[in-house]
Amino acid sequence: MRLLAGQIAQEVGATSEVTGPGARYDLAVEELVYRSAQEALANVRKHARASSIVVRIVEADGVLESEVVDDGCGFDLDEVRARPGAALHMGLDSMVERVPAAGGEVTIDSEPGAGTCVRFAVSIELSPSPDLVRAQKGGSDSPGSGGHVYCVLLARFGYTRRLPGHER
Q: Which helix (H) or strand (E) holds 115?
A: none
CA distance 31 to 43: 18
Residue 135 pLDDT: 47
For residues 5 and 41, the answer to whether their CB atoms sit within 8 Å is yes
Task: Determine the angle formed by the axes of helices 90-101 and 27-43, rounding to 10 degrees.
Answer: 150
Cite the DSSP H helix spans in the chain.
2-12, 27-43, 77-82, 90-101, 130-136, 148-156
Residue-wise pLDDT tens digits, 35-54? 999 999 999 999 999 999 99
Which domains are delineated in the chain? 2-156 (3.30.565.10)
CA distance 33 to 67: 10
Report, in angstroms and rounded to the nearest whole number, the Rg of the chain calculated over CA atoms.
Answer: 17
Average pLDDT over residues 121-147: 57
Q: Mean pLDDT over all residues of the chain?
A: 79
Q: What percent of the chain has pLDDT over 70?
A: 71
Residue-wise pLDDT tens digits, 51-97? 999 999 999 999 999 999 999 999 988 887 777 765 555 567 788 88
6: amino acid identity, one letter: G
Q: How many residues would you count in the chain?
A: 168
Give pTM, 2 decimals: 0.73
Q: What percent of the chain has pLDDT over 90?
A: 59
110 phi, psi to nearest 5 deg: -160, 150
Residue in 161, 164, 163 with CA at minimum distance from that of residue 81: 161
Residue 90 pLDDT: 59
Residue in 41, 53, 49 with CA at minimum distance from that of residue 73: 49
Residues 6+ apart with CB under 8 A from 111: 74, 75, 76, 77
Of 73-77, 119-123, 142-146, the poorest mean pLDDT is in: 142-146
Of 27-41, 113-127, 140-154, the poorest mean pLDDT is in: 140-154
- 46 or 140, greater pLDDT: 46
**Is the torsion defined by CA of 168, 122, 65, 33 positive or negative?**
negative
Residue 128 pLDDT: 61
